[in-house]
Chains A and B, each alone.
Chain A
Amino acid sequence: MRLGKAALLGAVAVAAGFVATTSIATTAWAQNEQYLAGLIYRTGAYAPNGIPFANGIADYYALINARDGGINGVKLNYEECDTGYATDRGVECYERLKNKGPTGTAYVAPLSTGITFALTEKAPIDKIPIISMGYGRSESRDGSVFQWNFPLLGTYWSAADIIMQHIAKKEGGFDKLKGKKIVLVYHDSPYGKEPIALLEERAKMHGFSFTPMPVTHPGVEQKATWLQIRQNRPDYVLLWGWGVMNSTSIKEAAAVGFPRDKMYGVWWSGAEPDVRPAEDGAKGYNAAMLQHGAGQFAVHNDLKKYLYDKGLGSAKWDETGEVLYIRGLVNGMLGVESIRKAQTKFGNKPLTGEQVRWGIENLEISAARIKELGFEGVLQPLKVSCSDHEGTRAGRIQQWDGKKWNVISEWYESDDKVLKPMVAAAAKKYADEKKLAIRDCSKES
């Protein structure tokens, strides 16, 4: 009993200290540093996909500090917090980190649709922009309602549209889709449900049958779903999974004999950790590309020179050519370029989230600039504006040949004739429900 009492006293003392420390949050910060909070995950069921992304972001910031001495002399101070892909923990991390540094975090990129949804409610109050590159709310592309959300490079509706365009092209046109059966195997969370609205719209337009099939988190149990697929014999299966769910889906597809070349994953279901565990079963599997694929690009030379040769890289060198690592680099680069853009207006000093928001909204990256940054072949030029927070809507399809990803298509662009009315309607509904004021984008410079 003595032990128990001591433990209790100890717990009380620690808790008291905890309360005291959290309430006195005035730490001295280096005054000329831009603070960046990283909501990432290196643990939990989604760690195999979270780790390379986190490494990519961390390495890009480190590269900016090592090679350029920061952005125009403003060093980047990056801090990670592990969210484990859990929404409540992600919000806790956000609250913990958002006000650190001289000006608070420049932006957040939570790499989770659930956390993005939760932070969407907080962003206008805290004045911190969210870069949800290739994920998040599809209607948040409409900057007149979602002032603080930036689903750069593409939303889920864009992804679904690109995949459908590719399938239509293979079949010989959208009119040939009539009577086809398309199944969506999705992660049963806001992430997985996002594309359903667009696919239903497309199904109505072209007369194919569309069946969504949910898989519960974390997605290791899919036997029933794939049994249904075997019975239904759909023409195509779309996959909206994340983490271990992806490789499980591909393995199950192999087990029931569904042709993998008729499977199309979203860009979050198209990386090395998704296909490698399925070994030969993954051969022929396709996935959309969030602009970039895998491989070594010009920026890797700098990474090698400034980080990996000195042993400062956060990944292994072989992993730096993988899809999700490069996606982390791209996310870091877009963030850095946004800060750089904001500095042209607000000066070369640490900037607040509100100032960086202006930078993201006015971000324009030309082909020449992409080459300069060492990202040639990784992404296409993009231009963000008040009415278009996506920047670009282009994507390609890649295929796994058992060893590496091969690009098998031309560039597609999601069809704004279909998407734009949907985005406008969904954004308006959100604004009405929350009684939000809508910005007039024609008046924004």
Chain B
Amino acid sequence: MLYREAGQFKTDYAADQQIFPIVQDRLFVAAVVVAAFLVVPLFASQYLYTEILIPFLILSLAAVGLNILVGYCGQVSLGTGGFMAVGAYAAYNLWLRVPEVNNLIVVFLFGGVMSAAVGILFGIPSLRIKGFYLAVATLASQFFLDWLFARVKWLTNYTPSGSVAVGETSVFGWIIDTPVERYLFILAFVVVATLVAKNLVRGHIGRSWMAIRDMDIAAEIIGFRPLRTKLSAFAVSSFFIGIAGAMWAFLRLGAWEPLAFDINRSFQLLFMVIIGGLGSLLGSFLGAAFIVLVPILLNQLPSWLGIKMSTALLSHLEFMVFGAMIVFFLIVEPHGLARLWAVAKEKLRLWPFPH
């Protein structure tokens, strides 16, 4: 009843090409963004910022990046953690060695660009290798990058333990140190990046990625160059992932070691994309929310309910329930949480009078 597009006519091409053609969708998304910028800072506690919202937003951005590669272009990658590390360490070295550039936007974009360059390099094998074999090849990039940051001392500024730390960070003189400022800065970055990603995937570049994903030989025959298309997907994907890595290091951790971007991070992001929904930007956000929030939620639920249990039992239960939930969601909807959302919208159009 509420969600019905009857009476909304598209009278020009601009109206037809909007990101959200339906008025209700537009309003809903606008409301979410406004709420995130204005309402959340009114009530959120520090814990909510630093442990829930900031990790969620940063990993969402990384998942958006990975989704471009895996979901839209069909190139399975297990090197995400490595690309995040490239972004983080490139940003760190720029911040450290060129103190004049104390501007997080420049620092993060540099991290993204470096990561994109490395992404292109490791994307080259994708021209010959496909599917699971490509996943294995990108796995090599993960291990290589892990090794690089652990062994090349210059990259970590010769710290004895290989753990680096960043100090004061600012944007155009605005010093970002409180959780609220960090949150708002990250949120702004993620919103802009998502908008860019959305426009990329619905434009001709995104369509060329999808053509390659659906059938690369056919795409080649109708005139898409596999080299350029695949490498552009690797570049754009790694760019977003690199920015997310730099953010994770600078604004979430503050001090980190290569272990923060190990193979587990790659798996975590791939699971986000799979559970959230391949080939859906919304899915990236839902997947990130699921993987980031549910374990923390499960860990705290018993104490809210007033159930006393030992720390060990609590942790084990968290693992078991979380695993069961993943299996459950994948059985109920193999296409991910984003598909569940789309089905819900379909039903809502007919509500309250389904056939």
A96 in the interface (beta carbon within 8 A): yes
CB-CB < 8 A to A82: which residues of B?
A: 299, 311-312, 314-315
**A22 & B289 in contact (Cβ 8 Å cutoff):** no
Kindly provide the distance from the CB of B97 to the nearest chain A CB, expressed in whole angstroms: 11
CB contacts under 8 Å to B, within A69-87, are: 80-82, 84, 87
Kindly provide the distance from the CB of B315 to the nearest chain A CB, expressed in whole angstroms: 4
**B96 & A14 in contact (Cβ 8 Å cutoff):** no
Selected from A4, A21, A114, the residue in CB contact (under 8 A) with B333 is: A4
**A25 & B150 in contact (Cβ 8 Å cutoff):** no
B352 in the interface (beta carbon within 8 A): no
B9 in the interface (beta carbon within 8 A): no
What mask results when residues 38 to 51 of chain B are scored 1 for a CB within 8 Å of chain A, else 0?
A: 00000111111011
What mask results when residues 99 to 137 of chain A are scored 1 for a CB within 8 Å of chain B, else 0?
A: 100000000000001100110111001000000000001
CB-CB < 8 A to B329: which residues of A?
A: 4, 7
CB-CB < 8 A to A40: which residues of B?
A: 311
B22 in the interface (beta carbon within 8 A): no
Selected from A8, A189, A435, the residue in CB contact (under 8 A) with B168 is: A435
CB-CB < 8 A to B50: which residues of A?
A: 91, 95
Q: Give CA–CA (A1, B177) in the complex, Å.
A: 45
**B44 & A87 in contact (Cβ 8 Å cutoff):** no
CB contacts under 8 Å to A, within B134-161, are: 150, 157, 160-161
CB-CB < 8 A to B255: which residues of A?
A: 117-118, 120-121
A42 in the interface (beta carbon within 8 A): yes
CB contacts under 8 Å to A, within B141-200, are: 150, 157, 160-163, 165-168, 177
Contacts A3-B332, A197-B160, A433-B165 hold; do A189 and B311 have CB atoms under 8 A apart?
no
A442 in the interface (beta carbon within 8 A): no
CB contacts under 8 Å to A, within B322-345, are: 328-329, 332-333, 337, 340-341, 343-344
B253 in the interface (beta carbon within 8 A): yes
**B47 & A95 in contact (Cβ 8 Å cutoff):** yes
CB-CB < 8 A to B217: which residues of A?
A: none
Selected from B161, B167, B296, the residue in CB contact (under 8 A) with A190 is: B161
Selected from A7, A51, A84, A117, the residue in CB contact (under 8 A) with B332 is: A7
CB-CB < 8 A to A81: which residues of B?
A: 311
Contacts A8-B344, A40-B311, A84-B315 hold; do A25 and B297 have CB atoms under 8 A apart?
no
B109 in the interface (beta carbon within 8 A): no
Stretch at the interface among B12-20, B61-69, B117-125, B256-264: B256-264
CB-CB < 8 A to B47: which residues of A?
A: 22, 25, 95-96, 99
CB-CB < 8 A to A99: which residues of B?
A: 46-47
**A114 & B51 in contact (Cβ 8 Å cutoff):** no
CB-CB < 8 A to B160: which residues of A?
A: 138-139, 193-194, 196-197, 426
Contacts A7-B328, A214-B150, A435-B167 hold; do A25 and B304 have CB atoms under 8 A apart?
no
Beyond A43-B315, A118-B256, A193-B160, 20 additional contacts (C-beta under 8 Å) are A5-B343, A8-B337, A22-B47, A23-B45, A42-B311, A42-B312, A42-B315, A54-B311, A82-B299, A87-B256, A87-B260, A88-B260, A96-B47, A118-B253, A120-B255, A121-B254, A122-B254, A191-B161, A426-B160, A433-B157
Q: B residues within 8 Å of A by Cβ? A: 43-48, 50-52, 55, 96, 150, 157, 160-163, 165-168, 177, 253-257, 259-260, 262, 289, 293, 296-297, 299-300, 304, 310-312, 314-316, 319, 328-329, 332-333, 337, 340-341, 343-344, 347
Q: Would you give 7 A-B contacts (Cβ < 8 Å), ordered by A?
A: A8-B337, A8-B341, A22-B47, A95-B46, A95-B47, A120-B165, A435-B168
Which 9 residue pairs are nearest across A and B when measured between Cβ atoms?
A42-B312, A434-B167, A190-B161, A4-B332, A121-B254, A197-B160, A43-B315, A82-B315, A80-B311
Q: A residues within 8 Å of B by Cβ? A: 1, 3-5, 7-8, 14-15, 18-19, 21-23, 25, 40, 42-43, 47, 51, 54, 80-82, 84, 87-88, 91-92, 95-96, 99, 113-114, 117-118, 120-122, 125, 137-139, 188-191, 193-194, 196-197, 214, 217, 426, 430, 433-436
